[in-house]
Amino acid sequence: MRLLEFTSRVDELHVDNYKGLGATPNNANVDYKGINVSMLPSVFLKLAKELAVTADDIKTIEFLKQHDKQGGTVGAPTLYINVPDAWKEGDFTGALPNVADHDGRHRMLAQLELQGNEPVETHVFLTSPRREWRNRDITPELLVQLNKAITTESGTTLSGPIFAV
């Protein structure tokens, strides 16, 4: 059963989580292992490690924009977030969750140039040192806590709201 339903599709990169550019097996399996949220590109880019935009990055972003204009699709950008083990038992005291990895900075930069800072379907997968997380483990209370503040991949704290469900 899907805990969350992505309902706020706006003009955005065309997402195909099975065959789109950048799609991964996790994208196709988000309903089992993660959550599907709506996130502003500016927030995603603050959470992920900063991209020192090079000439190759500019080419990639331009390619993605042209790909979109020609009706091409992409996989949803993805964040992998470490959460304290105690969160699985509902204990939200202690350390903040932190972004461990990401996939999709170029897609989000292309989105900013194509449509501005409009929400984009984004996948979030939770990890912790001694726990396996699945969608069924993600309670409404956990989502509230996750949306309050996260330590970014660069080590700073970003206060929420981080996403919409």
pTM above 0.85, yes or no: yes
Q: What are phi and psi of 36, to 5 degrees?
A: -110, 115
- Specify the pLDDT at position 146: 95
Share of the chain residues as helix, strand and coil, in percent rounded to the nearest 5: 35, 20, 45
Those residues whose C-beta lies under 8 Å from the C-beta of residue 42, and which sit 6 or more positions away, are: 112, 117
Q: Which of 99, 90, 87 is nearest to 130 (CA)?
A: 87
pLDDT at 113: 93
- The Cα–Cα gap between 119 and 163 comes to 9
Q: Which pLDDT score, from 0 to 100, does residue 4 have? A: 35
| Residue segments in the chain with a per-residue pLDDT below the cut of 50 | 1-11
